[in-house]
């Protein structure tokens, strides 16, 4: 494993010390991402939790701010959302997140009852404000494509297990919601309309099922990058089928791919479970990208070989790209 690396996609929503002691032991830094999720703390509480951790563990955590949809369909909404962004940035956030509730939340509709999508013109002032002030936007739109497929056509067991247990989130059962294609189209429309927008398409641009589709977006939108959070198993599945193609993808786009796990620290795991989760993911992911070991994943059957990427490519994915994108202060001599 690298002597120092960055997990650039986590949600640190508790004051538990265990994860931070592990981070100090392993010389890991975190990007904690505030998100307007109903079952999370509210955005102010998420920010306060991370600020408390930052004070206790300086130079170890950076934070992304966000905005909510309170006052939607009223004149108060835009000033409220912009103020949330301004406040978050003024308090040290290194970017802004927009979440999948835009396009997938029944409470975020227009006055005619239509789902509001990412390319709705009411968001344009926010995009322009971010451009004008050189602020990064990171986005999670839609769900894995499996969400719109019947269970027997899903590609990984983790999705199959989750959506079979949560049919309310299984979009295949809810055709009244916007399609996967509509979600991706709306996101792409924004990137076309605002080419100067600095943007990270989280979760492999929500196109985890095809590195060809991810590559297409990276080519079309040169101001964008992507991260790997919670989608590495989908890459591993593609490596099982076409190892050379997957390896070539990471070498070609080595400057635009950022490592992250998407571990949610919300108190549902005890300290031992949380530390074990981080440790197992970090080691497995490093083995996949840096070695030629024969590996397996719990999300699908069969084995695959690690990509054995060049050391400089591994360093970019696990460290340098997060430094360049989010502003981490990393001493390269310790690696």
pLDDT at 330 over 90: no
| Residue 196 binned pLDDT confidence (cut-offs 50, 70, 90) | very high
Give the integer Cα–Cα distance in Å for 98 and 28: 25
* CB neighbour list of residue 325: distance below 8 Å, 6 or more residues apart: 8, 136, 200, 225, 258
Dig out the tokens for 134 from the structure: 């050189």
| Span 173-192, average pLDDT | 97
What pLDDT score was predicted for residue 321? 98
| Pairing, β 28-33 against β 61-66 | parallel
Question: Mean pLDDT lowest for which of 32-41, 206-215, 221-230?
Answer: 32-41
What pLDDT score was predicted for residue 335? 53
| Span 70-92, average pLDDT | 97
- Which residue reads 């089928």 in tokens? 241
Provide φ and ψ at 28, rounded to 5°: -110, 140
| Span 2-17, average pLDDT | 97
What pLDDT score was predicted for residue 78? 98
pLDDT in tens, 271-305: 999 999 999 999 999 999 999 999 999 999 999 99
Of 119, 175, 188, nearest to 147 by C-alpha is 175
What pLDDT score was predicted for residue 333? 46
DSSP per-residue letters across 137-206:
EEE--S--GGGGS-GGG-SSHHHHHHHHH-GGG-GGG-TTSPPHHHHHHHHHHHHHH-TT--EEEHHHHT
Give the integer Cα–Cα distance in Å for 92 and 51: 9
Output the CA torsion 31→40→127→188 (10° steps): 90
Of residues 45 and 330, the one with the higher pLDDT is 45
| Fold topology of 5-334 | TIM Barrel (3.20.20)
| Span 110-139, average pLDDT | 97
| Residue 130 binned pLDDT confidence (cut-offs 50, 70, 90) | very high
| Residue 251 binned pLDDT confidence (cut-offs 50, 70, 90) | very high
Do residues 250 and 275 make contact, with C-beta atoms less than 8 angstroms apart?
Answer: no
pLDDT at 310 over 80: yes
| Residue 39 binned pLDDT confidence (cut-offs 50, 70, 90) | confident
- Rounded to the nearest 10 degrees, the angle between the axes of helix 124-132 and helix 180-193 is 40
What are the residue ranges spanned by the domains of the chain?
5-334
**How distant is the alpha carbon of residue 3 from its chain centre?**
24
Whole-number average pLDDT of the chain:
96
pLDDT at 220 over 60: yes
pLDDT in tens, 153-165: 999 999 999 899 9
What pLDDT score was predicted for residue 332? 58
Dig out the tokens for 292 from the structure: 């030629």
């Amino acid at each position: 494993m690298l002597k120092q690396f960055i997990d650039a996609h986590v949600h640190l929503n508790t004051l538990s010390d265990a994860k931070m002691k592990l981070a100090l032991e392993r010389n890991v830094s975190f990007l904690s991402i505030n998100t307007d999720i109903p079952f999370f703390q509210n955005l102010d509480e998420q920010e306060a939790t991370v600020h408390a951790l930052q004070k206790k563990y300086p130079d170890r955590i950076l934070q992304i701010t966000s905005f909510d949809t309170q006052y939607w369909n009223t004149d108060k909404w835009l000033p409220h959302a912009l103020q949330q962004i301004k406040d978050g940035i003024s308090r040290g956030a290194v970017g802004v997140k927009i979440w999948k509730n835009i396009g997938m939340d029944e409470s975020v509709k227009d006055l005619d009852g239509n789902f509001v999508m990412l390319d709705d013109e009411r968001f344009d002032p926010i995009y322009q404000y971010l451009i004008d002030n050189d602020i990064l936007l990171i986005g999670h739109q839609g769900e894995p494509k499996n969400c719109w497929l019947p269970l027997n056509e899903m590609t990984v067991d983790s999705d199959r297990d989750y959506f079979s247990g949560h049919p309310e989130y299984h979009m295949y059962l809810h055709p009244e919601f916007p399609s996967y294609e509509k979600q991706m189209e709306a996101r792409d429309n924004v990137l076309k309309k605002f080419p100067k927008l600095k943007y990270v398409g989280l979760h492999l641009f929500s196109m985890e099922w095809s590195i060809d589709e991810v590559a297409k977006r990276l080519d079309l939108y040169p101001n964008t990058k992507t991260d790997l959070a919670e989608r590495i198993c989908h890459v591993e599945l593609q490596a099982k089928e076409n190892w050379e193609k997957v390896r070539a993808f990471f070498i070609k786009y080595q400057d635009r791919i950022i490592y992250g796990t998407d571990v949610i620290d919300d108190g549902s795991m005890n300290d031992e479970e949380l530390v074990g989760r981080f440790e197992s993911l970090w080691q497995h992911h490093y083995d996949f990208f840096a070695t030629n070991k024969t590996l397996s994943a719990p999300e699908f059957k069969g084995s695959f070989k690690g990509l054995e990427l060049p050391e400089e490519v591994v360093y970019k994915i696990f460290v340098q790209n997060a430094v360049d994108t989010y502003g981490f202060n990393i001493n390269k001599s310790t690696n």
